Amino acid sequence: MTSRESTVAMETEKEVNSPAQCEGHTVSVKGLKENWQKWCSEHQRNQKHNPFSHDSRHSVGVYQAKLDYGRPLQGSLTEQRGQEAHTHISKEIKKLCEAIKTIGELKEKDGGDGGSNRKVIAVEFGKLFQHYVAISNKLVGILLRARKQRLVEFEGEMLWQGKDDHVVIFLVE
């Protein structure tokens, strides 16, 4: 080994064993290795409980569905964002119902299942679309969500501007 090669080898060894500077923080290879090992161990532990993992060492024999399956961890940012989105959508649905009350008219609606007719507020989709466009650009999505919550009723799966302008939307509330 030449003196030049030994000098380069010593400098490389110093760089590996001594802490490095990274954006004002001291980072050592040992610290990075420990963090990586910690992450790997945690990941392997989680994969043992993941029914979709290809890890053959499952610690759970038969997967039992939990009540919180498919829901974010409590207290996580994801849960917080979901709650905020739910609150926002609820406000949008409330605005939609108020808009229907404002521009709608009382009409007779068949009570269904042999019941008598009842008076409900109704509006045509085209009229609602023209009014609601000044409030929000998400009318169809909000209508679908309101129907899912049984606040409004209308025929068809989806409403299209122009094509479905004469479809009547009933406010159930």
Q: What angle do CA 134, 98, 139 make, to 5 degrees?
A: 45
The predicted structure's pLDDT at residue 119: 83
Residue 1, C-beta contacts closer than 8 angstroms, at least 6 positions apart: 9
Residue 113, C-beta contacts closer than 8 angstroms, at least 6 positions apart: none
| Range of weakest confidence among 106-115, 135-144, 147-156 | 106-115
Whether pLDDT at 65 is above 80 = no
Residue 21, Cβ density class (10 Å: 0-12 exposed, 13-18 middle, ≥19 buried) = exposed
Per residue in 136-152, pLDDT tens?
788 999 999 999 999 99
Average pLDDT rounded to a whole number, residues 94-102? 93
The predicted structure's pLDDT at residue 64: 64
CATH 1.10.10.1540 in the chain: give the residue spans.
82-171
56 pLDDT band, cuts 50/70/90, is low
Q: How far is CA 108 from CA 113, 120, 150, in A?
A: 15, 6, 18
What is the dotted CATH code of the domain comprising 82-171? 1.10.10.1540
